[in-house]
């Protein structure tokens, strides 16, 4: 509630409806699942098969300091994702974990070309993931969780298979694939290397986002938008390079930054991941607060829950602690994300009006009346919090 001195509790952050647009399937496995799949499928290259040790090993990605080093950890999650059963299980657990964290709508991305080392066809990869999502969402619903979940297909920038993956995405557009993306090392692999794929997708009226402005700067963002036609930007952090400040601290937007803001191009920001890849030095230095203040269409995302040891409620917690955000800000980020989703307009609107806004209103009214503690009766809201 605007003006409240107390912020939302961790429990309220989980209860708050959240929308996640940028999260990699192979970056969010449960450590125990990685270990079990490795044993079951004879994958012998894991650094450990003890779930706790594995969790710490993946978490060391936090010290990577560069996108390239951060990405090295994925060899092992991809290593255990080479069968339909493994993909199905991991996708189902992903849906369950997100629902348990209060995510009501998610677009999860994966590069199917990474799961063909054991003989799977691309179609089988996509089908296993989609079936896993459906199963996980159903299991979550049985425990009171509600989640809509779609798949974005990534092509890996270094692999030159983007046109093939774009065609795959369009073929599965009515089965749960909601969009396309390119991922992997950004420097040396500009978006225009995949121009043919993006032109095809545009002719098909299909949706796509592009990882840009994370491991490389403005030229990557410019190509993603002006050559390729990206509807959203994965990260987009370096748009900051096109903003200058005068001696009064007033921000001035360059032409590209203005275009991004004027066109309401969503920025899929992933604060914790950006610190881990060295894209920004620390969370307080992250441009999310500045860009939110300048009314860019900012969204909050996790990127890789395992490698960056995060969750949507965890990202929100850190933003609150760092920038003093309130429930109003969290609702703003969430509505921004829902507006930006690759879902039909009427469904986006329904989720905003029937799920997100009522969810935040309920939390605000809880803050207004004080939380009920069964042992001592209602806890009064702290004094001096009137607007
Ligand atoms: O933040 C990222 N930037 C670029 N590529 C990424 C990032 N996080 C994960 N990936 C890559 C590694 C995965 O294997 C791939 C598909 O999910 O996408
Ligand atoms: Zn990413």
Helix 312-323 × helix 327-340 angle, to 10°? 130
The span from the first CA to the last CA of the chain, in angstroms, equals: 9
Pairing relationship of beta strands 377-378 and 298-300 according to DSSP bridges: unpaired
Between the CA of 85 and the centroid of ligand 1 the distance, in Å, is 22
Burial of 119 (0-12, 13-18, 19+ CB in 10 A): exposed
- Rounded distance between C-alpha atoms, residue 128 and residue 120, angstroms: 10
CA separation for the pair 108, 305 (Å, rounded): 12
Atom of ligand 1 nearest to the CA of 304: 8
Measured CA to CA, the distance from residue 11 to residue 33 in angstroms comes to: 26
Is 295 annotated to bind a ligand? Reply is no
Helix residue spans in the chain (DSSP H): 10-15, 31-41, 51-59, 67-71, 74-79, 84-100, 122-142, 162-171, 195-203, 218-222, 255-262, 271-276, 288-293, 312-323, 327-340, 345-351, 357-369
Give the integer Cα–Cα distance in Å for 322 and 6: 14
Ligand nearest to the CA of 185: 1
- Cα Rg of the chain, angstroms: 21
Ligand 2 center from residue 190 Cα (angstroms): 16
22 is in an annotated binding site: yes
| Contact assessment for residue 180 and residue 169, using Cβ atoms and an 8 Å cutoff | yes
Which residues sit opposite 380 in a β-bridge?
none
| CA of residue 71 to ligand 1 center, whole Å | 7
Residue 149 is predicted with a pLDDT of 98
pLDDT for position 375: 55
Q: What is the model's pTM? A: 0.94
Nearest ligand, measured from the Cα of 113: 1
24 annotated to a ligand binding site: yes
pLDDT single digits (tens) 145-183: 999 999 999 999 999 999 999 999 999 999 999 999 999
Those residues of the chain that have pLDDT short of 70 are: 1-6, 370-387
Q: Whole-angstrom Cα distance, residue 337 to residue 53?
A: 34
Instruction: Find out whether 71 and 184 touch, Cβ atoms under 8 Å.
Output: yes
Which token pair is 211?
Answer: 């990882």
Q: What is the pLDDT of residue 366?
A: 86
CA 151 to chain CA centroid, Å, is 12
Q: Which of 345, 384, 332 is nearest to 19 (CA)?
A: 332
ipTM of the complex as predicted: 0.99
- The Cα–Cα gap between 313 and 116 comes to 33
Residue ranges around ligand 1 (CB below 6 Å): 24, 26-27, 67, 71, 74, 78, 109-111, 114, 154, 183-184, 211, 214, 273, 303-304
Q: Is 207 labelled a binding residue? A: no
pLDDT at 380: 45
Distance between CA atoms of residues 93 and 97, nearest Å: 6
Q: Enumerate domains of the chain plus CATH numbers.
A: 18-367 (3.20.20.140)
Token representation of residue 82: 């080479």
DSSP class per residue in 123-191:
HHHHHHHHHHHHHHHHHHHHTT---EEEEEEEEEGGGT-HHHHHHHHHHTTTTTEEEEEEES--TT--G
- pLDDT score recorded for residue 7: 85
Q: With CA atoms as reference, report the closest residue to 236 among 263, 268, 207.
A: 268
Q: Single out the residue of 284, 289, 283 nearest to residue 271, CA to CA.
A: 283
> What is the enclosing helix (H) or strand (E) of 24?
strand 18-24
- Ligand with smallest separation from the Cα of 232: 2
Query: What local confidence, expressed as pLDDT, does residue 368 receive?
Result: 80
Nearest to 233 by CA among 156, 319, 312, 298: 298
pLDDT of 3: 43
The residue contributing the CA closest to ligand 1 atom 18 is 183
């Amino acid at each position: 509630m605007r003006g409240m001195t107390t912020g939302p509790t961790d429990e309220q952050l989980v209860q708050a409806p959240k929308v996640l647009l940028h999260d990699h399937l192979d970056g969010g496995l449960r450590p125990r699942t990685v270990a079990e799949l490795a044993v079951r499928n004879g994958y012998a290259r894991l650094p450990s098969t003890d779930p706790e040790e594995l969790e710490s090993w993946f978490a060391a990605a936090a010290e990577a300091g560069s996108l390239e080093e951060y990405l090295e950890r994925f060899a092992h999650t991809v290593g255990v994702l080479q069968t339909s059963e493994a993909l199905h299980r991991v996708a189902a657990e992903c849906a369950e974990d997100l629902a348990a964290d209060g995510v009501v709508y998610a677009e999860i991305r994966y590069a199917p070309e990474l799961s063909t080392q054991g003989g799977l066809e691309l179609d089988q990869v996509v089908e296993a993931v989609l079936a896993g999502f459906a199963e996980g969402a159903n299991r979550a619903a049985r425990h009171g969780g509600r989640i809509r979940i779609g798949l974005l297909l990534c092509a890996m920038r270094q692999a030159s298979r983007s046109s093939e993956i774009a065609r795959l995405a369009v073929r599965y557009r009515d089965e749960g694939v909601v969009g396309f993306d390119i991922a992997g090392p950004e420097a040396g692999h500009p978006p225009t290397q995949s121009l043919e794929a993006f032109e095809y997708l545009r002719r098909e009226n299909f949706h796509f986002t592009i990882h840009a402005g994370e491991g490389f700067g403005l030229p990557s963002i410019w190509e993603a938008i002006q050559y390729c036609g990206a509807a959203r930007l994965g990260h987009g952090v370096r748009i900051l390079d096109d903003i200058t400040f005068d001696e009064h601290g007033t921000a001035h937007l360059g032409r590209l930054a203005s275009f991004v803001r004027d066109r309401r191009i969503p920025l899929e920001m992933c604060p914790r991941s950006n610190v881990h890849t060295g894209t920004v030095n620390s969370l307080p230095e992250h441009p999310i607060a500045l860009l939110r203040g300048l009314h860019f269409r900012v969204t909050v995302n996790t990127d890789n829950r395992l490698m960056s040891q995060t969750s949507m409620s965890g990202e929100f917690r850190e933003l609150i602690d760092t920038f003093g955000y309130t429930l109003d800000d969290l609702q703003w980020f969430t509505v921004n994300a829902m507006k930006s989703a690759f879902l039909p307009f009427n469904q986006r609107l329904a989720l905003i009006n029937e799920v997100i806004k009522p969810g935040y209103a309920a939390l605000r009214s809880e803050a207004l009346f004080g939380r009920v503690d069964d042992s001592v009766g209602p806890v009064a809201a702290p004094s001096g919090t009137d607007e």
